[in-house]
Amino acid sequence: MRNQLKILIILYLCLPLSALTAEKNDHAKYVQHVEQGFVFLFQGNNKGAIDAFESALAVESKHYEILHYLGVAYTQEKFWNKAVEVYQRSLELKPDNIEALHSLSLVYFKLNQWADAVEPLRKVIMLSPQHARGHELLGKVYLKQRQFSDAVDVLTQAIELKPNAAGSYNDVGTAYLNLKDYPQAIENFTKAIKFGPPRYAEPHYGLGTAYLRMGEREKSKREMQIYQQLQKEYAEYERFTRLTRTEPNNLQAWRGLANVLMQQKRYNDVVPVFQNCIEIATKNKMSSDVIASFYHGLSQAFINLNYPKHAQESVRKAIQLAPNIAVLYNTLGSTYAMLGDVRNAIPAFRKAIELDGEQPHYHLNLSKLYQSVGNHKLAKEHYQAYEHFLSKQKKK
Amino acid sequence: MNISCQNRRKNNRIKLKAGTDTLDIRLFSTTLLTLLLSIAFTIAVSAEKKENPLILIPGGTFTMGNEKRAPDERPTHKVYLDAYYISKYEVTNAEYYEFWHSLQANNPQKTLESTQHTPENFTHLPHIGDWPERATKFPNHPVVGVSWYDAKAYAEWKGMRLPTEAEWEKAARGYSDRTWPWGNAIKPYANTSDKNDGYENRIAPVGSFPKGKSYFGVMDMAGNVWEWTADWYSDVYYFHSPKKNPTGPTVGSWRVIRGGSWIDTLPRCSTTFRYYFYPTLKTSSVGFRVAKTAEKPQK
């Protein structure tokens, strides 16, 4: 009896200790999941991040930061309702969290719940009057609610906070269009085109509409044609993007997507696309010329991103696969020139001309290089060749 | 029965007295042992500790931001900063241990005040491990698992402060437009997620990449661990920031972190790349360094 009592007492004394150890182990698990979640989030692996953050919160539920990050991952995966739920939980723990309020409003916007988005956005702006994204989103919400004067006010502030924001110019243009203030609409749509990314379609539509309502039919027609062309490109982009998602090994789809992205000058986006093309083409044992063309595309993307060393590495691989293609040497020469290595750039351009002497821009590149090293005679010769082949091409 | 009871009580009394003495002796021995262990621990940490001198960054104008990269790095703009000092290395485990130990020493009851600046444990990452053991095991590794508040408290304890975002960028890029502290060439001069930098999937001791030093000689400003700065984050701050000694927006949710880390790719470790974290978070990829305003020379 006495022994049993002793055991019971020992057990009783050990209980808090074991509880403490269990708590420590649980916290270690929480930390591990959170760490994993961040790695996934940084890598753009939202599904992995969701699993990790959900697991972390199953262990310790009251972390407003992790609830917000989980919401971000849900939002990126378009799990709107789940995102709303975790953002609300996060805000219960920290009601004045500006970024969580903004994130919640963004999801309401995506869910077309305009009225629900207004209150948190007003709070964002009240707490942080310089919050440009808050102003931008509230402007969009007002547009949807057809409160055009309010939209103009809030979007004008957004532009003050973030000058050259093409999206805000387009939105304020739309608001003015609805307020029938066409000169203001035209001014803002024009700025949206000026400051926007290449091939930004929407402001052309707005501009076309504004011109039409002002009776300027020719200008309107021109803008609408541009809009249609850009929309077509966008549709192509959407089509190829969908195809690459449903058929991840479809090389034609990846190639099409790469072409569209190059046309749109979206060089950051095209890099992983070309890398995928190379991987799939290599796996499928496609011809060397095909694989070389992808390496070449990749090198051109790197050139445009101002990464000459990466570009050179890619074009060298292309040359190894297809040593008799003139354009590859021209690109190689360009990478040397970007790195200031004239000594190696000249032979690369010469090789391009040796393989295809009738391309005017190969001569122009070489002419510029000779000019830079003071060899005016050869610079002149190649410039003349450039003009000659250019006019020949034009005649064709 | 009574007698026996009295006897027992008597015995108890004696035992109790004797017990108290034993307890006192035990308590004394335990305290002494803890103290000795603590001293030995502190000596062990200090013995391996690397000096972390302050580097003077002269006053003057530099170019901040980068027009060609992420939208929040725009616009490129000129900023004037008064002269300041910045620590050559990220704050190490050994350095942070001194701060943490002083809190423990001043508060042996281990109340909230003494434990709240304890770095997070990373039991699942053996190359980092648990606190305070990692202070002896990896004294010269940058301290991680510290929140922005921990970093600020440490800096204040040292009579310093966290660098502002502008101070951090100037110390990293110098006067020219360097993509990385060492220049524009892609080189393995920083501990990133790249497998060829010699520290695959782990933190490196501070100063492991001497070729990666900045124009001013500040080390590890690319990779290894992100570094807390004093400023709140705003993606449009550069459009409106003061031209002289900017200290960041007045409100925000996130604090700016700079420099990238051992889990990031080289582009994220550039001198202009901006990232942000909740100030309460304690992760294995964020540490800090300290700064101090240089006194103006007397006329």
- ipTM for the whole complex: 0.82
Chain A environment of B121 (Cβ under 8 Å): 27-28, 31
CATH H superfamily, domain B54-293:
paralog of FGE (formylglycine-generating enzyme) (3.90.1580.10)
CB contact under 8 A, A306 and B68: yes
Q: List CB contacts of A210: < 8 A, sequence separation 6 or more.
A: A173, A177, A182, A185, A186, A189
Q: Could you tell me how many residues make up chain B?
A: 299
> Average pLDDT of A128-150?
98
- If you ran DSSP here, which 8-state letter would residue B200 be given? T
Whether A35 and B186 lie within 8 Å, measured CB to CB: no
pLDDT at A278 over 60: yes
**Per-residue pLDDT at B12:** 41
CA–CA dist A277, B48 (Å, integer): 51
Percent of chain A with pLDDT over 70: 94
Q: For residues A136-148, give the mean pLDDT.
A: 98
Which positions 180-239 of B are in contact with A (Cβ < 8 Å)? 185-186, 234-236, 239
**Which residues does A contribute to its contact with B (CB < 8 Å)?**
27-28, 31-32, 34-35, 38-39, 42, 65, 68, 97-100, 127-128, 130-133, 161-163, 306-307, 309-310
CA distances from A183 to A166, A168, A175, A179, A186 (A): 18, 17, 12, 11, 5
Binning pLDDT at 50, 70 and 90, where does residue A42 land? confident
- Evaluate whether residue A305 is within a structural domain: yes
**pLDDT, average across residues A65-89:** 97
Given a contact cutoff of 8 angstroms between Cβ atoms, the answer to whether B80 and B65 are in contact is no
User: Which among A27, A28, A163 is the nearest to B239, CB-wise?
Assistant: A163
Q: Tell me how close the Cα of B27 comes to any Cα of chain A, in angstroms.
A: 19
d(C-alpha A332, C-alpha A344), whole Å: 9
Give the H or E element holding residue A11. helix A2-43
Between CA B230 and CA B294 the distance in angstroms is 17
Closest CA relative to residue A193, chosen from A167, A215, A211, A217? A167
Mutate to test the interface with A, among B73, B127, B236, B283 (most CBs of A within 10 A): B236
Average pLDDT of span A62-88: 97
Q: Compute how many other C-beta atoms are within 10 angstroms of the C-beta atom of residue A384.
A: 12
Q: How far apart are CA B103 and CA A312, in angstroms?
A: 55
Q: How far apart are CA A140 and CA A154, in angstroms?
A: 9
The closest CB to that of B251, out of A35, A127, A132, belongs to A127
B226-232 and B286-287 strand pairing: parallel
A328 domain residue, yes or no: yes
Q: Is the pLDDT of residue A58 over 80?
A: yes
Q: Which residues pair with B255 in a beta bridge?
A: B232, B277
**pLDDT on residue B6:** 41
Residue at a domain's end among A113, A134, A168: A113
Q: Judging by beta carbons within 10 Å of its beta carbon (0-12, 13-18, 19+), is residue A259 exposed, middle or buried?
A: middle
Size of interface A-B (CB pairs under 8 A): 56
Split at pLDDT 50, 70, 90, the class of A213 is: very high
Q: What is the Cα–Cα distance from B65 to B75, expressed in whole angstroms?
A: 6
Each residue's pLDDT tens digit, A330-342: 999 999 999 999 9
Query: pLDDT by residue (tens digit) across A185-197?
Result: 999 999 999 999 8
Report the SS3 class of residue B83.
Answer: coil
Please check whether residue A308 lies inside any domain of the structure: yes
Q: Which residues of chain B have pLDDT under 70?
A: 1-49, 108-114, 297-299
Cβ atoms B162, B290 nearer than 8 A: yes
Burial class (CB in 10 A: 0-12, 13-18, 19+), B177: middle
**Largest separation between any pair of C-alpha atoms in chain B:** 96
* Token pair recorded at residue B264: 């990031």
**Residues, chain A, total?**
396
The whole-number pLDDT of residue B10 equals: 39
CA-based nearest residue to A291, from A308, A271, A276: A276
| Cβ-defined contact of A162 to B236 (cutoff 8 Å) | yes
Of B240, B263, B280, the CB nearest to A39: B263
3-class secondary-structure state, position B273: coil
Mean pLDDT for chain A overall: 93
* Residue A360 confidence (pLDDT) above 80: yes
Distance CA B222, CA B233 (A): 19
Instruction: Give the end of a domain, one of A65, A97, A113.
Output: A113
d(Cα B288, Cα A52) in Å, to the nearest integer? 26
Q: For chain A, say whether B121 makes contact (Cβ under 8 Å).
A: yes
| A9 or A31, greater pLDDT | A31
- Domain of A295 in residue numbering reads as 287-395
Q: Do B125 and A133 touch (CB under 8 A)?
A: no
**Residue B87: what are its φ and ψ, rounded to 5°?**
-70, 145
Answer yes or no: do A163 and B284 touch at CB < 8 A: no
Rounded Cα distance between A168 and A183, Å, is 17
Q: Could B252 and A128 be called an inter-chain contact, meaning their C-beta atoms sit closer than 8 Å?
A: yes
In 3D space, the residue among A35, A36, A33 whose CA is nearest the CA of residue A59 turns out to be A33
Best mutation target among A59, A63, A162, A268 (most B Cβ atoms within 10 Å) is A162
- pLDDT at residue number B4: 40
Q: How many CA atoms lie within 13 A of B220 on its CB side?
A: 28
Task: Please write the tens of the pLDDT for every residue from B150-172.
Answer: 999 999 999 999 999 999 999 99
* Contact (Cβ atoms closer than 8 angstroms) between residue A104 and residue B258: no
Torsion, Cα of A159, A163, A167, A171 (10° steps): 30
H or E, element range at B87: strand B84-87
Please tell me the distance from the alpha carbon of residue B263 to that of residue B200, in angstroms, as a whole number: 9
Asked if residue A97 is part of any domain, the answer here is yes
Q: What pLDDT, on the 0 to 100 scale, is given for residue B124?
A: 93
Give this prediction's pTM.
0.77
Question: Would residue A388 count as lying in a domain?
Answer: yes
The identity of residue B65, as a single letter, is G
Domain count, chain A: 2
- The verdict on a CB contact (< 8 Å) between B123 and A31 is yes
Amino acid in position A18: S
Say which of A38, A99, A100 has its CB closest to residue B283.
Answer: A38
Residue A216 lies in a domain: no
Longest dimension (CA), chain A: 112
Q: For residue B11, give how far its alpha carbon lies from the nearest alpha carbon of chain A (Å).
A: 20
Neighbours of A297 (CB within 10 A): 23
Quick one: closest CA in A to B186, which residue? A309
Does residue A152 form part of some domain? no
Domain of residue A371, CATH code:
1.25.40.10
pLDDT tens string A227-265: 999 999 889 999 999 999 899 999 999 999 999 999 888
